[in-house]
Amino acid sequence: MLRLKKFILLSLFIASNLLSFEPFTDKELLPAIEQKHNTFAKKRASLLQERLDMLRGKSDLQKLEGVNDFFNEVEYSSDIQISSKGDYLATPWEFLCNNLSDSKDYVISKYFALKYLNVDHKKLFFTYVRSTKFEEPHMVLTYFETPKSEPLILDNDNHKISPASKRDDLTPIYNFNGDTLYKVGKNSENSHKK
């Protein structure tokens, strides 16, 4: 339980705008990425900016799909396999440059990309779930069109965006973002319905 509390606090800290998702078009940033990482990382950064530019002015659903598809191209790996640091929250830039990530990092990167695209951050939630597939904590990004609507699930494991009712492999525990923390469940006060 201590690990969950630590993770939620760190995630809330990040989600409360301490990181900003600025475009990669800064002329000084791309060479720095290439020098520190490699040409592949620089190309991924350029491709992300192209994708974000293409999605500007599209509907929220089109933005969700475009961002979800882009970030889901990154290979999954656990924090231990990536950095041997245990629980580690990567910035979107680290996520792209490493080209390896765990579920928390997919959610963080998708969240900030969608926020950059002016998707209302009050509709986006980091959702801590139990998964029948994984034997460790798993995180997905959820999108609520309205506070009472059924959320859409953006997941690095199941790449298709689905309504929560179609994801019987996931049991939500907490929904949170920079403003709100909800315990999810039938008996929970202020819970969002699955």
Is residue 155, in this structure, part of any structural domain at all?
A: yes
pLDDT at 103: 75
Mean pLDDT, consecutive 10-residue stretches, the chain (194 aa), reads: 54 48 57 75 83 95 97 71 59 68 82 92 92 83 95 93 95 81 55 39
Is residue 152, in this structure, part of any structural domain at all?
A: yes
pLDDT at 153: 98
Which candidate, 148, 141, 149, places its Cα nearest to that of 176?
A: 141
Is residue 191, in this structure, part of any structural domain at all?
A: no
Q: How many domains does the chain have?
A: 1
pLDDT at 67: 96
Residue with tokens 């907490």: 174
Is residue 190, in this structure, part of any structural domain at all?
A: no
Domain that holds residue 122: 2-183
Is residue 120, in this structure, part of any structural domain at all?
A: yes
What CATH number should be reported for the domain holding residue 135? 3.10.620.30
Is residue 189, in this structure, part of any structural domain at all?
A: no
Residue with tokens 């959610």: 107
Q: Residue 189, SS3?
A: coil
Sheet holding 152-154, edge to edge: 162-163, 152-154, 138-143, 124-131, 170-176, 181-183
Is residue 141, in this structure, part of any structural domain at all?
A: yes
Is residue 31, in this structure, part of any structural domain at all?
A: yes
Instruction: Quote the CA–CA distance of 125 and 140 in Å, as a whole number.
Output: 8
